[in-house]
Amino acid sequence: MGTGSSSYRPKAIYLDIDGRIQKVVFSKYCNSSDIMDLFCIATGLPRNTTISLLTTDDAMVSIDPTMPANSERTPYKVRPVAIKQLSEKEELIQSVLTQVAEQFSRAFKINELKAEVAHHLAVLEKRVELEGLKVVEVEKCKSDIKKMRDELAARSNRTSCPCKYSFLDNSKKLTSRRDVPAYPKYLLSPETVDALRKPTFDVWLWEPNEMLSCLEHMYHDLGLVRDFGINPITLKRWLLCVHDNYRNNPFHNFRHCFCVTQMMYSMTWLCGLQEKFSQMDILILMTAAICHDLDHPGYNNTYQINARTELAIRYNDISPLENHHCAVAFQILSQPECNIFSSVPAEGFKQIRQGVITLILATDMARHAEIMDSFKEKMENFDYSNEEHMTLRTSSVLWGPSTLHPLGFFSSSVKPLPPGNTVCLHFLRILDIKKTLLSFAVYSLYDKTSVCSRDFPTTEAPPGKILTLGGAGMPRLPPAAGSMSLWGAGGNNAGFPSASITRPPSLPASDGESRRTALWDVSRVAQLIPDLFFQLKMILIKCCDISNEVRPMEVAEPWVDCLLEEYFMQSDREKSEGLPVAPFMDRDKVTKATAQTGFISFVLIPMFETVTKLFPAVGELMLQPLWESRDRYEELKQMDAMKEQKAESLTPESTASREKSRDGGKREDHA
Q: What is the set of active-site residues? A: 252
254 annotated among ligand-binding-site residues: yes
For residue 423, give the DSSP letter: E
DSSP 245: T
Which residues 6+ apart lie within 8 Å of 554 measured at CB? Answer: 202
Contact 291, 258 (CB under 8 A): no
Is 253 annotated in some ligand binding site?
yes
- Reduce the DSSP state of residue 482 to 3 states and report it: coil
> Phi first, then psi: what are they for 13, rounded to 5°?
-125, 135
Neighbours of 535 (CB within 10 A): 19
DSSP sequence for 249-317: -SSSSHHHHHHHHHHHHHHHHHTTHHHHS-HHHHHHHHHHHHHTTTT--SS-HHHHHHTT-HHHHHTTT
Backbone angles phi, psi at 132, to 5 degrees: -65, -35
Q: Report how far Cα 481 is from the mean position of its chain's Cα atoms.
A: 53
Q: Please give the Cα distance from 360 to 373 (Å, whole number).
A: 18
- What residues have CB less than 8 Å from 23, skipping those under 6 apart? 12, 13, 14, 15, 72
d(Cα 76, Cα 574) in Å, to the nearest integer?
102
According to DSSP H, which parts of 318-467 are helical?
Answer: 320-333, 346-361, 368-379, 387-399
248 is in an annotated binding site: no
Angle between helices 232-244 and 208-221 (to 10 degrees): 140
- To the question of whether residue 231 is assigned a binding role by annotation, the answer is no
Burial of 552 from C-beta contacts in 10 A (0-12 / 13-18 / 19+): middle
Give the containing element (helix H, strand E) for 50. Answer: strand 49-54
Residue 243, annotated as binding a ligand: no
Give dist(CA 417, CA 426) in Å, integer. Answer: 11
Contacts of 465 (CB under 8 A, 6+ apart): 391, 427, 429, 439, 441, 502, 504
| CA pair distance 376, 368, nearest whole angstrom | 12
98 burial via Cβ count (<10 Å: 0-12, 13-18, 19+): exposed
Q: Read off the amino acid at residue 481.
A: A
Which segments of 366-479 are extended strands (E)? Answer: 422-429, 439-446, 467-469
CA distance 629 to 597: 9
255 belongs to an annotated ligand binding site: yes
596 known member of a binding site: yes
- The angle subtended at Cα 546 by Cα 545 and Cα 552, nearest 5°, is 115
Residues 6+ apart with CB under 8 A from 187: none
Strands, sheet with 483-485, edge to edge from the N-terminal-most edge strand: 467-469, 499-502, 483-485
* Helix, strand or coil, per DSSP, at residue 439: strand
13 touches 63 (CB < 8 A):
no
HEC letters along 75-129: CEEEEEEEECCCCHHHHHHHHHHHHHHHHHHHHHHHHHHHHHHHHHHHHHHHHHH
Handedness of CA 58, 59, 60, 62 (dihedral sign): negative
Annotated binding-site members for AMP: 252-256, 293, 545, 596
Annotated binding-site members for Zn(2+): 256, 292-293, 545
